Structure 1
Amino acid sequence: MSTTDTSRQATAADRTPQQKRAALRRHLLMQLILEVILPLGGYYALRAAGVNPWLALIAPGLLIAGILAYRVVRQRRVDAMALFTLSLIVVGTVMTVVTGDPRTLMVRDSWIFGVLGLWVLATLLTQRPFMRIAARAIVTVKIGEEGYRQWDARWDNDSRFRVHLRLLTAVWGTAFVVDAVIRILLAYTLPIDAIPLVSTVQWLVVLAALIAFQNFYVTRHGLKV
């Protein structure tokens, strides 16, 4: 490890609560831009310009994929959530190219989120439940890589820590599955141009509820960094 890397980790670990919150806000803002503003805004902007639904869905996804790939190369670290978003884009694009149906692309996230939910629930049977993996990005943003390793080390010697992460994993997995079922039904019944907006709004409501619950839970049980 270089002197620069060591200094960066020490700085991250020594951040004040205000600096940690600021770092988290920047991280969440970037996620909001990549996962909501660019795909939704791009779709409706292109549709307003007369672009067909198929291309209006594909183009923002390719832009987002490029940004995510650049961030992976720059940070020299594969973020689990970034990898998941890239997978959504690639799978959805392939499905649409094969079928030629824009509705298939619109429902892609729902099907994949359903599969993801089942996978999240399946990780409960392993030593690396989903929340233990997903927490890395946020914990690292707030207190650095070394801080994350210390946080994660609690898994080996704190049974309550394991119970808490498994419970949070179960909540997120169940929410993904239920949300996917609802969005699939909406995607096959709503007018095609209404699907992106309604689907995004519904997911934001579910996500806000999940984040509010998680913030309350991790604060109450001493998991917050």
Structure 2
Amino acid sequence: MSAASGARTLLTLGLDVVAPLAVFYGARALGLDPWLALVLGVLAPAGAIALTWARDRHLDTTAVFVIAAMALSLVIALFTGDPRALLARESWVTGAIGAWMLVSMALRRPFLLDIAIKISPPGTAARYDALWTGDPVFHRWMVGACWAWGLAFVLDAAGRVVMAYTLPVDSVPLLGVLLLVALLVIAQGGVLLHGWRSGALRLLRG
């Protein structure tokens, strides 16, 4: 991944993750009720989408996914008026991502491998594809990585539902982010450990 691509990824991450938290807690500090603060936080990622549109004049699949998630959240907000329902809706997003990672293992290329190929230079991408089809060590490692990340997202979804309906509303947005980060760190740690022990990481270096 190039430096420019990495910078864009960090910017998108900031707008999609940090901005909603900042908007929510800023609105609460100003005295807005939790429902309205959550709705404003849901709309915060629109900044990233606007920047993408201004730069590229088209929307990628990630942007479309975010727009769909925002639309769903607004429908929930308007029809329920319940801040806890808005908090629980985060589980739909992470749950769908986790389920897709697991289901994608039945496809020609699993989700994680497909992403790695798309963001890598052509030569590296071709090597990944060849390893997936021709090296059983790499194949097993990639399957394990998909299981680890997929289960992390599914567990995050379950945890968000529990937190949404049992914990104070103001604590859930931050705790939800911390839960996801913790689960992904554990998942990636297991993936790297397995890759080191199995030799799959050495295969990636050529």
Normalized against structure 2, the TM-score is what? Answer: 0.78
Counterpart code for 1:114: G
Q: Aligned pair 1:41/2:22, yes or no? A: yes
- For 1:96 and 1:162, the matched residues in 2 are separated by 43
Question: Percentage identity across aligned positions?
Answer: 32
Tell me: higher relative CO, structure 1 or 2? Use CA pairs within 8 A at least 6 residues apart: 1
How far did 1:166 drift? 2.3
Q: Contact 2:128/2:204 (CA < 8 Å) preserved in 1?
A: no
- CA RMSD, aligned part only? 3.1
- 2-structure distance, mates of 1:83, 1:24: 19
CA shift digits 1:30-54 (9 cap, x unpaired): 2441232101111000111122222
**Cα deviation, residue 76, structure 1:** 6.2
Asked if structure 1 preserves the Cα contact closer than 8 Å seen for 2:88 and 2:161, the reply is: yes
Q: Which of 109, 128, 131 is matched with 1:128 structurally?
A: 109
1:41-87 Cα distance to aligned partner (Å, 9 max, x none): 11000111122222222223323124225415634676554444443
Offset, 1:133: 2.9
Distance 1:95 1:112 in 2: 14
Q: Please name the residue that 1:68 is paired with.
A: 49
Gaps of 5+ in 1: 1-11, 13-19
- Assess if the C-alpha contact under 8 Å between 1:81 and 1:134 holds in 2: no
TM-score, reference length from structure 1: 0.72
- The partner residue of 2:36 within 38, 52, 55 is 55
| CA–CA separation in structure 2 for the residues paired with 1:206 and 1:112 | 15
Residue type matched to 1:63 in 2?
A
* Counterpart residue identity of residue 195, structure 1: V
Task: For structure 2, list consecutive stretches of 5 or more residues without a partner in the other structure.
Answer: none
Q: Secondary structure of 1:222's partner?
A: helix
Give the distance between the partners of 2:67 and 2:205, measured in 1 at CA: 28
User: Following superposition of structure 1 onto structure 2, how do residues 108-123 of structure 1 map, counting pairs within 5 Å?
Assistant: 108-123=89-104
